[in-house]
C-alpha cells in the first residue's frame, strides 16, 4: 500500500477502535501508527492490542508503528463533605495534608512534593485550568491561596502547577511497570509524560536501553525552558497541546507549537502535533472549519505526524476521523503554496558527511526530476536524515530490520520496505531499482537516486550517492 501523502497519521486506540476489524479499517483509512494510552489500558489489554496490530501488519504487509504513551505523575485534590463547593474570586482557600473531607475553606492535597516546591506568588490551576489560585503562604503542610478564577469544584479534580518545577521523576512506579511491559513487547515508541528537564528523558532512555525510541511530550512550561537540551536527548518530540494549553495562556499555544516543530525539524527529530485536532468528530461525522485549519497548519509546518486522541479512541466515527485527517493532509500537500512554505522552513545541513549526502540527494533529485530517493537504513538514521530535508521527491526507505521499519513509519515522507541487506554494491543498486518499481514509485525508463553507507550495514555511515536507471520489470539499466 502506498500513501498519497508525506505527513503521517497517529491514531489513538480505545473502546471505539480496539477490535481487529476496526484497527484494519483505520489503517486502510490512513493511520500509519497507533497510540496506546496507558492511563486507560491494563497490561493484558496492551498485550492484546499489540498482538492485534501485529496481525494486521502481517495482513497488510506494511510496517505499522506502535506508540505506548505513559501516564506520568497525576495530582488531584481530595474529596468534599458535600461532593462539590463553589469558590468565588477573592476567597481564601487552603490546601493541606489533612485527610478529612473538605469544605468551602479547605481541601486535602495528598502530594507532599507540591508543598516542598511551591512558593508564594506561584499559581495553582484546578479542574483542567478552569479555576486559578494564587499562592499567598506555604509551609510543610498547608498552602494558603487566594481564588483568582472561581467556579464549581468537586471531588478528585486535577491540579496543575505552571510556575513550579517539582522535585520528582517523570516515571512513577506505575509508569515503570507499564514501561517494562511495553519493552517486553518490543513496541516502537514510548511517549514520556510530565517532562520538566532533560534528565527526565535520560532516565527513560537508561531504562529502555535502545529497545524503543523515546518521545518527549512537551506539555509543561518548564520543558519549554529546557527544549534544546531535551531535543538533544530525545528520539522524538510531541507537542502535547492539551496540558500545554492548561499551563500556558491559550493564546501562546500556537506560537509555542511553531517553536517546537521548527526546533525539532532543525535538529532532525521526528515531531508529532497532538490533541483536539478534530475534537468535534468525537460526536459529529464532520469537523468544524477551524479544526480543518488547525490540522492544515500542522501539515504546512512540516510536522512528521498529526495525532487523533479521543476522536479515534472513544468517538462515534473513528474511521471517518482518520479518513478526514487523510483528506486534509493530501489537500494541503497538493496546495501550490505547500512546497514554498516547506522549503522556507528548511535548515542548513549539519557539517557532517551524512547530512551533506542527504542534502545533496534532495538537490540532485529535484534538479534531475528523479522518480524517487531510495535510502538504505539500518538504524534509521539515514532515513531520518533524508526526511529532514523534506524533499518533493518521494523517499523509499529500505531496511533489513523490522523494528527500524516500524519506528520510521512515524517519520515524514518515508515509505518503509523490509528487505534483506544488500550483498554488494551491484545488488544494492539492483534491489533499489526493483523495489522502487514494484512499489509504484518509478516506471521503466525513469531514474532514481540511491543513498547508503559503506561498509553496508554500518549505522549512521551515509557516505554514498548513486543515480540509476530503472529498466523493464524494475531491473537496473546500465
Q: Judge whether 347 lies within some domain.
A: no
> What was the pLDDT predicted at 327?
98
Q: Are residues 233 and 329 in the same domain?
A: yes
Q: Which long-range contacts (CB under 8 A, 24 or more apart) does 98-104 make?
A: 102/77, 102/78
Mean pLDDT by 10 residues, the chain (478 residues): 94 98 98 97 98 98 97 96 96 96 97 95 95 96 97 96 93 97 98 96 97 97 96 97 92 96 95 97 98 98 97 98 98 96 84 87 96 95 94 96 97 96 89 95 95 72 87 66
Distance CA 337, CA 333 (A): 9
Rounded to 10 degrees, the C-alpha dihedral 383/387/391/397 comes to 30
Domain that includes residue 102, residue range: 84-160
Q: Are residues 468 and 362 in the same domain?
A: yes
Question: For residue 97, what is the domain's CATH number?
Answer: 2.40.33.10
Active site residues: 35, 76, 217, 275
Residue with cell 497532538: 274
Q: Are residues 68 and 191 in the same domain?
A: yes
Q: Are residues 195 and 324 in the same domain?
A: yes
Q: Are residues 35 and 137 in the same domain?
A: no
Q: Judge whether 1 lies within some domain.
A: no
Question: For residue 462, what is the domain's CATH number?
Answer: 3.40.1380.20
Per the DSSP assignment, residues forming a β-bridge with 447 are 469
Q: Which of 432, 433, 423 is nearest to 457 (CA)?
A: 423
Q: Which run of H or of E encompasses 143? A: strand 142-149
pTM for the full predicted model: 0.94
Contact indicator for 395, 448 with CB cutoff of 8 Å: no
> What was the pLDDT predicted at 121?
96
Q: Are residues 20 and 105 in the same domain?
A: no
What is the tally of structural domains in the chain? 3
Q: Are residues 230 and 369 in the same domain?
A: no
For the chain, the distance separating the N- and C-terminal CA atoms, rounded to the nearest angstrom, is: 29
Last residue of a domain, one of 142, 160, 178: 160
Last residue of a domain, one of 302, 337, 372: 337
> What was the pLDDT predicted at 453?
78
Question: For residue 185, what is the domain's CATH number?
Answer: 3.20.20.60
Q: Are residues 18 and 40 in the same domain?
A: yes
Q: In the 8-state DSSP scheme, what is residue 279?
A: G
Q: Where are the beta strands (DSSP E) in 242-371?
A: 271-274, 305-308
> What was the pLDDT predicted at 155?
97
Amino acid at each position: 500500500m502506498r500513501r498519497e501523502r508525506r505527513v503521517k497519521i497517529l491514531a489513538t486506540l480505545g473502546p471505539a477502535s480496539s477490535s481487529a476489524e476496526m484497527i484494519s479499517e483505520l489503517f486502510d483509512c490512513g493511520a500509519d501508527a497507533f497510540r496506546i494510552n496507558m492511563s486507560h489500558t491494563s497490561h493484558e489489554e496492551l498485550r492484546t492490542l499489540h498482538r492485534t496490530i501485529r496481525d494486521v501488519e502481517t495482513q497488510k504487509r506494511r510496517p505499522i508503528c506502535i506508540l505506548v504513551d505513559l501516564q506520568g505523575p497525576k495530582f488531584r485534590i481530595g474529596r468534599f463533605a458535600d461532593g462539590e463547593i463553589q469558590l468565588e474570586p477573592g476567597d481564601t482557600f487552603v490546601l493541606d495534608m489533612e485527610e478529612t473531607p473538605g469544605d468551602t475553606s479547605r481541601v486535602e492535597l495528598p502530594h507532599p512534593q507540591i508543598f516542598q516546591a511551591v512558593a508564594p506568588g506561584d499559581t495553582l490551576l484546578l479542574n483542567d485550568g478552569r479555576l486559578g489560585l494564587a499562592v499567598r503562604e506555604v509551609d510543610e503542610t498547608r498552602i494558603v491561596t487566594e481564588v483568582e478564577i472561581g467556579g464549581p469544584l468537586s471531588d478528585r479534580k486535577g491540579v496543575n502547577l505552571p510556575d513550579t518545577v517539582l522535585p520528582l521523576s517523570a516515571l512513577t512506579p506505575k509508569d515503570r511497570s507499564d514501561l517494562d511491559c511495553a519493552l517486553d513487547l518490543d513496541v516502537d515508541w514510548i511517549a514520556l509524560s510530565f517532562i520538566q528537564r532533560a534528565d527526565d528523558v535520560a532516565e527513560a532512555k537508561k531504562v529502555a536501553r535502545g529497545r524503543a525510541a523515546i518521545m518527549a511530550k512537551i506539555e509543561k512550561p518548564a520543558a519549554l525552558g529546557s527544549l534544546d537540551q531535551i531535543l538533544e536527548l530525545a528520539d522524538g518530540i510531541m507537542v502535547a497541546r492539551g496540558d500545554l494549553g492548561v499551563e500556558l495562556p491559550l493564546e501562546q499555544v500556537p506560537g509555542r507549537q511553531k517553536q517546537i516543530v521548527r526546533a525539532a525539524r532543525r535538529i532532525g527529530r521526528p515531531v508529532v502535533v497532538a490533541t483536539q485536532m478534530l475534537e468535534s468528530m468525537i460526536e459529529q461525522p464532520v469537523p468544524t472549519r477551524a479544526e480543518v485549519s488547525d490540522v492544515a497548519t500542522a501539515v504546512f509546518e512540516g510536522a512528521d505526524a498529526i495525532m487523533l486522541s479521543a476522536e479515534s479512541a472513544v468517538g462515534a466515527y473513528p474511521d471517518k476521523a482518520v479518513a478526514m485527517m487523510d483528506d486534509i493532509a493530501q489537500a494541503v500537500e497538493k496546495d501550490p503554496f505547500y512546497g514554498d512554505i516547506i522549503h522556507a522552513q528548511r535548515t542548513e545541513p549539519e557539517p557532517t558527511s551524512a547530512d551533506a549526502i542527504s542534502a545533496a540527494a534532495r538537490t540532485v533529485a529535484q534538479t534531475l526530476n528523479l522518480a524517487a530517493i531510495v535510502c538504505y537504513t539500518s538504524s534509521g538514521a539515514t532515513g531520518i536524515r533524508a526526511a529532514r530535508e523534506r524533499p518533493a521527491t518521494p523517499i523509499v526507505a529500505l531496511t533489513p530490520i523490522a523494528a527500524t521499519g516500524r519506528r520510521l513509519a512515524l517519520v515524514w515522507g518515508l515509505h518503509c520496505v523490509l528487505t534483506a541487506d544488500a550483498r554488494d554494491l551491484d545488488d544494492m543498486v539492483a534491489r533499489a531499482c526493483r523495489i522502487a518499481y514494484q512499489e509504484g514509485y518509478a516506471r521503466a525508463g525513469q531514474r532514481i537516486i540511491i543513498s547508503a553507507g559503506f561498509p553496508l550495514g554500518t549505522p549512521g555511515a551515509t557516505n554514498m550517492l548513486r543515480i540509476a536507471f530503472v529498466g523493464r520489470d524494475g531491473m537496473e539499466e546500465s
